[in-house]
Structure 1
Amino acid sequence: MSELQKQIPTLYGVLSVNTCAIAATHSGYAPGIVTMGFPAFAVSISLLRAVHWLRLRPETMTEAEAIRQLLLTTVMTGVLSLVSLAWAMVLHGYGGPYEQAHVVIFIAVTVIASINCLTHLPVAAFLVTGIVMSTLILICLTSGNAVFVAIAVNITFVTMAMVRVLSNNYRAFVALVASEATATRLSEDNAKLALTDSLTGLPNRRHFFQDLEDLTVTVGGRGGIFALAIFDLDQFKPINDTYGHTAGDHVLAEAGRRLAAFADDKVMVARLGGDEFGVLLHDPGDPEEAIRFCNAICETLQQPIAWGGLWLTGGCSGGLAKFPRAGREPATLFDRADYALYHSKLYCRGETTLFSQEHEDAIRVERAVETALRSVDLDAEMRIHYQPILDTETGRITLVEALARWMSPTLGQVPPDRFIAAAERCGMIHHVTLLLLRKALADCALLPPDVGLSFNLSAHDLASPETVAAIVGAVRKSGIDPRRMTLELTETALLRDFDQAKEAIVALRALGIKIALDDFGTGYSSLGYVHRLPLDKIKIDRSFIAAMDSDVGGSVIATILNLCENLGLDGIAEGVETEGQMAAIRRHGCRLVQGYLVGKPMPLAELLAGLPRAEPHLLRA
């Protein structure tokens, strides 16, 4: 249609000019109705049809509409050909040989123009050629005039040649259109593949953010609302590590299938990468309704998944942010939903958290902490407190845990969990770790030789070979016996990159440094790490100590301590705060104890003053 739209108006223009020209040459010979009436009618029709074609919009036409236009054009071509031929035959009876020759030329030129302009509609072109040329050739051959006979012969061969050229051009045009259609289809397929996650079949991250940007423009333009939700499978990595990538891929594919069931014209779902999925709610309703919808997704993704005779349960948590309250920019809105997801994982696993003003205030505080971390003299403002660990058999302090403290001149006292998390986010954790480690090693030189030093490492530290090498260098440079050092690791640190963590642990133990697994029992994979890693100590999480009065709690403590004894590991009970807990933990055979009953975290001077005393309660701050 687009190609015909360029040619058919030209054809009507040629027809109009030729009609006016031949009418002018016969004006003195034929009646006025023939030389004036018909040309006016023909030119009017031609102009109307030309304007009609110029106003068409092929790109918006359906296939049925295009077929109707082509049929109408073919019929109009046949009718105009017959009428024009009849008129030309009438004119042929007037005038002299020149005028008659002009009629022949008019017919031949008009047909040639039709063939050229109707290349992409060969049915109409052949119709014109068959009607007009056959009649013209017949008239010339039967005229008895040798010149007209010669003209008929010439026209016959020229027509045959032009018909052949027309056929070849149309076949080439059809092949070109077919190749373009194939290329378009392949391009569309490639575009679809580029926007589709190959494992789950869901839209991918690129597609998700394209839709998110479109929504912020369209919905923001009309003052509407929509919501963005992010979902994360809580225990996907342990499943992947324990059962392999095949099981992990199966879990992701099944999660994608379940999530796709929630998609409709108002809900777009996508896989963002790893075990993270995104959802765009075009009509989220009120906050409670949006949270109920997202919690339904969490419940669906939490259902066990069958694989190889096993039932794998990954769990799912979500974060939800609404436009425009949580942000007007795509990146801001996504970050807010991600923050809400992080909150869910920390405080309400298995549920969806809606980003609120409280979270916005927390982000401002975190940004203030990050800014302060970059602009202050950390070496002067950070110090270390030490919490003693008691050997209940000897009544002596055998180990002290170094705990960071930061008094900011602008923010005041900043809790360790807050500034450590901020340092991890802004990439300063390695600097903070090495700064605190050097301070702790310097203080360790002032401790009695039989008192060891325990120091906590971040997950980011263990995942960085450069930081591990710097830790080894700092210990060697301090002159402290590495065997007095214990580095505490959390399950989070091991989850980040297990192979790198294992390599780091082997390097540290080769120096003589001991390794302790902190907060044992709070994660889902702690037991798996105990037999896979070269550990020296296990710190029993304080939550078990608080519940040890119950039968189940006491059994858990006994089980953990038996595990330590069987594996040749030291068990350390954290969070012992009462005499009753102390007595109970000793009955279970735990030798090393840490908690407020033994001593609160304190500056080095206070610790040194209390160390010579025999009774542990004298160490309490």
Structure 2
Amino acid sequence: MSDLDSGCRADCPPRSLVLLENRGTAAVLLAADSTVLWTSAQYRQLVGCDSPLGRPWAATLPEDMAPHAQRLVAGLLNHQDLDEILVSARPRPRWFGVTSAAARGADGPPSGVLLEVAELTGTDDPATPSSAPVIRDQLTGLYNRRAFLDLAGLDVPKLSPFHAVAFVDVRRFRSINELWGHFAGDECLIAVGRWLRSIVSPGDLVARLSGDEFLILCTAGSELAGELRQSAERTLDIAGRPIRVALQAGLARRQPGGSLLDTAEQAERALGAAKREPWRTVVEWLPRHSAAASEVATLEDAVRQAVSAGEVAVHFQPLVNLARQEVHGFESLIRLGGAAGELPVERIIAASHQLGLTPHLAEVVFDQALAGGRSLRNRFPGAVIGINISRQFLGTGLAIDTVVRCATRAGLPLSQVVVELTEMRRGAELGLRMVIDDFGRGETSLALLRTLPLSAIKLDRSLLPVDDDPRAWNFLEGAASLLRNLTDDLVVEGVETAFQSRRLREIGIELQQGYLFGHPKPSDYWLAHPVPVPLPR
């Protein structure tokens, strides 16, 4: 007779169970019908059950852990070994690791199952070695995505302690990695984890999902939103350097009957809205945020389909030199077919960046633009070809190499290719002509312009008056006078009327672009049709 068959009463445990008891193991022995035959003192302390003998094993566990335990019991006696994780959300999140082995008699069928149970919940302190690598982020010590999904799987809206979800990320986190290195980035994430734990309310749960994205499950009395609004920026000691770090968050309050997953999705959409409004620290979810997200998804799907189907074309808009009465160059502009055909360029660029299509799309567009530019130069000798490069693509460090590669394939001299702002120094060294586009809109800095190797500055259409407003024209003339100290070539885009063109010439701006001289058209159009230069007086 085996040790486990010799007796299982709590007051007279067999020898092997005494060894488990002495080792400090939380263990429980189950009969074939899953009732408890014996437990160690550590098990009773772990589950908070003083008198478990004769009770079903699931009844000794936290209430919301019991259904999973009952499903395990059905197959326990048919398995040699078992290694499972049980999770409970109430009254607080807990994870138990359960391992088992059948307790067999000498000649007969299994006479019971011995379970060893370990607390896996661990601590939030990254300095403390985690006993729960499955549910803990190893860098910050916070809960991870698996832990959140475990809790979401147990979610019962009426019983859940969590009434809201917040998505939080670190503003400009990538710049910390780029400026100080990835070890500093890791230190930043650890520090942000401590920061979030310091401002959440008791009972709130903080998790790191991935990268610089954190998720917080908020209890009914949580003050997180107020705390973030009051102090969303701190100077943190990161790798021995004081670095200013700012947080931004989307918050969603659980709707009646709403699940944790639905609420988390709403919080993520609210964070997306916050990123589009960088002056806001916390954005609370509203139904319009879901509508906007659905619109973005539709847009992205249209862009993906157009790119996959090869429905990518480049049109060219002329840039004229009125002093010389000639075409100075062409700006290349992307056009997509299918459902994306009417999308503005800015939205195509944003969608391609979100989809990770930007490098591929840029290569396709640059190839077409520079090949078309070469054919246009056969009719318009000396014309430069403008390439618009998005800020997102510039940030990858691939932009200039892509332009050079495509220009080489097209056989177009780099001196006849115009690109925009970022990576300007390297592009100028290679012979590319560097132009500031859309000056007067966004974050163009005069101090930055003073140091850059510029070939031209293109003033944004928003600076061009639409009528004979003296103040507006005086402002434009003053801006032009200042910018001529930086470059000889000033371009104004958005010229739509002969009146605007004449006034621009009066203040000395001869390089002009806009619908007055032609809408964007394929290269074949400009090879077959005259460009309206000179203009009628």
TM-score, length of structure 2 as denominator length: 0.59
Q: Which amino acid aligns with 1:341?
A: L
For residue 275 of structure 1, report the CA deviation from its aligned partner. 5.8
Structure 1 residues 386, 371: CA separation in 2 closer, same or farther (over 3 Å shift)?
Answer: closer
Give the percent of matched residue pairs that are identical in Structure 1 and Structure 2: 24
Question: Does structure 1 residue 420 correspond to structure 2 residue 420?
Answer: no
Provide the secondary structure at the position in 1 that maps to 2:382.
coil
Name the counterpart of 2:533: 613
For 2:504 and 2:174, the matched residues in 1 are separated by 34
* CA distance 1:613–1:56, shift in 2 (3 Å): closer
The equivalent position to 1:537 in structure 2, one of 456, 467, 478, is 456
Q: Distance in 2 between matches of 1:588 and 1:314?
A: 46
CA distance in 2, matches of 1:546, 1:227: 49
Structure-2 residue corresponding to 1:25: none
Aligned-partner Cα distance in 1 for 2:432–2:235: 42
Alignment of 1:356-371 (within 5 A): 356-371=289-304
Q: Greater share of helix residues, 1 or 2?
A: 1
SS in 1 for 2:315: strand
Query: Shift of the alpha carbon at 1:280?
Result: 2.6
From 60, 63, 66, the counterpart of 2:44: 60
Could you list the runs of 5+ residues in structure 2 that have no partner in the other structure?
A: 1-7, 15-36, 51-121
Which residue pairs with 1:592 in the alignment? 511
Choose which of 403, 407, 410 in structure 2 pairs with 1:471.
Answer: 403
Q: Give 1:358 deviation, angstroms.
A: 0.7
Q: CA RMSD in A?
A: 5.5
Matched, 1:268 2:205: yes
CA drift at 1:432: 2.4
Equivalent position amino acid for 1:366 in 2:
L
Moved more, 319-328 or 587-596: 319-328
Q: How many matched pairs?
A: 426
Q: Within 5 A, what are the aligned runs for 1:369-518?
A: 369-373=302-306, 375-376=308-309, 378=310, 381-391=311-321, 393-408=323-338, 413-444=342-373, 445-446=375-376, 447-459=379-391, 461-462=393-394, 468-489=400-421, 494=422, 501=423, 506=426, 508-518=427-437
Q: Structure 2 CA distance, aligned partners of 1:314 and 1:551?
A: 41
2:272 corresponds to which residue?
342
Report what 1:212 is aligned to: 148
Q: Could you report, residue by residue, the CA deviation over 1:41-77 in whole angstroms, capped at 9, with x for unpaired residues?
A: xxxxxxxxxxxx9677443349xx99xxxxxxxxxxx
* Contact 1:516/1:537, CA 8 A, preserved across alignment: yes
Greater Rg over alpha carbons, structure? 1
Q: 1:229 aligns with which of 166, 170, 174?
A: 166
CA gap of 1:520–1:226, structure 2 versus 1, over 3 A, is farther
SS in 1 for 2:368: helix
1:114-148: CA deviation from partner (whole Å, max 9, x where unpaired)? xxxxxxxxxxxxxxxxxxxxxxxxxxxxxxxxxxx
- Cα contact 1:299–1:316 (8 A) shared by 2: no
Q: How does 1:123-272 map to 2 (within 5 A)?
A: 189-191=128-130, 195=136, 204=142, 207-220=143-156, 226-234=163-171, 259-260=196-197, 262-269=199-206
1:580 Cα offset (Å): 7.0
Alignment match of 1:352 (pick from 279, 283, 287): 283
Residues 257-296 of structure 1: pairs in structure 2 closer than 5 A? 259-260=196-197, 262-269=199-206, 276-283=213-220, 294=225, 296=226
Contact conserved, 1:326 with 1:333, CA < 8 A, in 2? no
Q: Judging changes above 3 Å, is the alpha-carbon distance between structure 1 residues 245 and 368 closer, same or farther for their aligned structure 2 residues?
A: closer
| CA distance in 2: counterparts of 1:258 and 1:545, whole angstroms | 47
User: 3-state SS of the aligned residue for 1:190?
Assistant: coil
Q: Are the equivalent residues in 1 in contact too, given 2:466–2:500 (CA < 8 A)?
A: no
1:403 to partner: Cα distance? 0.8
Determine the structure 2 residue equivalent to 1:9: 12
Q: Contact conserved, 1:558 with 1:588, CA < 8 A, in 2?
A: no
CA contact (8 A) 1:228 1:281 kept: yes
Matched, 1:319 2:284: no
TM-score normalised by the chain length of structure 1 = 0.53
Distance 2:471 2:138 in 1: 49
Which sections of structure 1, spanning at least 5 residues, go unmatched?
12-52, 67-183, 285-289, 495-500
Higher relative strand content = 2
Q: What does 1:292-307 correspond to in 2, within 5 Å?
A: 294=225, 296=226, 299-301=229-231
Contact 1:343 1:353 in 2 (8 A): no
| Amino acid across the alignment from 2:316 | Y
Distance in 2 of aligned mates of 1:245 and 1:560:
43
Cα distance in 1 between the residues matched to 2:471 and 2:173 = 32
- Structure 1 CA distance, aligned partners of 2:230 and 2:12? 62
